[in-house]
Structure 1
């Protein structure tokens, strides 16, 4: 049975720390998920969390960079962030708070301190944070690229961009199946009406349109030579 005190995401590349935090916070009644990199965390439905415990020094995407992306996305900017890091200089602390962090805990830390700060942040923000589930808001997003499936709208870095019905459905299919390669024929079968004669090259034309419209995210609509197209993250 899922705990009810709130759902928390721990993002840290040190597995031992993640296990200790997960065990102790679950004992306190929280539901805990773990990601060992910012890249892994950004693939999760972040809007369903009430708090993120975030390490700063990780792989290619730092905790600071992940926080920046979370706060830039309208669907996740409300989520409180507590930084957990060995970097405790004044400049790092200021950077963290400027990015919208709600607290900053330096390593090594005591578990009791973490629990107390988690309680304090959740108590302070509980009226501001919508208790969401993965399906509560019907939105697919990758970084600043967002599809609202209910309103059939596409926003790119906060700006609405006009898409035709076919363009929207094609992008939706690719984003819902990130990493999966679709052949041209598969895309034709899924997106286009069986009553309409459409050539495989039509898919290439629409892929070119999508790349132009998603602008900075064009590289995400990738080609697997000889096989088809996929959404690359």
Structure 2
């Protein structure tokens, strides 16, 4: 079985060396980078399966790098775990808002880090491979077509680029047509954990998703004070 490749972007050499050593010793294929420049160069050569990204970096910080990754088609779905300062609550929320898959606070233990990596890998890399093997569904709603297996969304026949979080959010709502999903339920199902402080993250992703699929709120409906839903049938 091919090893999961992980890039570690961390300017503290002692932390970077320790993490890379631990990951390689745990069956992963890890490489470390002190900042954005060397990281981008490596990504252009070979894209990793997952990225550990420190927020506090010299030059371009981790949040800016994350935003860059999510904006580029070739890296928009790359799983990213943010490394944050223990007290930096706002950084955690901003990271999730920008599409991070998870975060881990410093100082952290290697066992905790490995557990977070396995959890994100299950939700992203392995689940994508499983969908390809077992098959997935397609959905049609008005002028929107979603191919869950091929990870393609088209609007009026034109493909639109969604991040992995936006795509999972859309599929989850379509899979539960007629049901109202609370923000906490969406956070749990799409991000894989319950973090009440980041429910605004759901609203931000809904708004971005609506813009990309040209929805004025007719398809993805806001249920005030609760969450969101898609009706069972498209309205003419």
Q: Alignment partner of 1:43: what SS?
A: helix
1:107 is the counterpart of 2:106: yes
Match of 1:85 in 2: 84
Contact 1:78–1:128 (8 Å) recurs in 2: no
Query: What is aligned with 2:2?
Result: 4
**What's the secondary structure of 1:33's corresponding residue?**
strand
Runs of at least 4 residues off by over 3 Å: none
* Counterpart residue number, 2:97: 98
The 1-side partners of 2:17 and 2:89 are apart by: 28
**1:1-44 deviation per Cα after TM superposition (whole angstroms, max 9, x unaligned):** xx833000000000111111111111111001111011221122
CA 1:40–1:87 in structure 2 vs 1: closer, same or farther (change >3 Å)? farther
1:64 alignment partner in structure 2 = 63
* Alignment of structure 1 residues 132-151 onto 2, 5 Å: none
Normalized against structure 2, the TM-score is what?
0.51
Provide the alpha-carbon RMSD of the alignment. 2.1
Instruction: Say whether the 8 Å CA contact 2:6–2:48 is kept in structure 1.
Output: yes
Q: Distance in 2 between matches of 1:58 and 1:45?
A: 18
1:4 and 1:29 in contact (8 A); partners too: no
Which residue matches 1:137? Answer: none
Structure 1: runs of 5+ lacking an equivalent: 130-157, 159-233
> What's the CA shift string for 1:104-147, capped at 9, x where partnerless?
11100001000000011001101338xxxxxxxxxxxxxxxxxx
The number of equivalent residue pairs is 129
Equivalent residue, structure 2, for 1:42? 40
Match of 1:53 in 2: 52
Contact residue 85 and residue 106 of structure 1 kept, 8 A: yes
Segments of structure 2 that go 5 or more residues without pairing to the other structure are: 130-160, 162-236
Contact 2:84 2:91 in 1 (8 A): no
- Tell me which residue corresponds to 1:74: 73
* Aligned 8 A contact 2:54 2:62 in 1: yes
- The residue aligned with 1:18 is 16
User: Residue 128 of structure 1 aligns with which residue?
Assistant: 128
Give the direction of change, closer, same or farther, for the CA distance of 1:72–1:24 in structure 2 (3 Å limit).
same
CA contact (8 A) 1:4 1:31 kept: no
Distance 1:105 1:121 in 2: 12
> Larger Cα Rg: Structure 1 or Structure 2?
1
Q: Describe the SS at the equivalent of 2:112.
A: helix
Deviations 1:145-170 (CA, angstroms, capped at 9, x unpaired): xxxxxxxxxxxxx9xxxxxxxxxxxx
Give TM-score, length-normalised by structure 1.
0.52
Instruction: Report what 2:28 is aligned to.
Output: 30
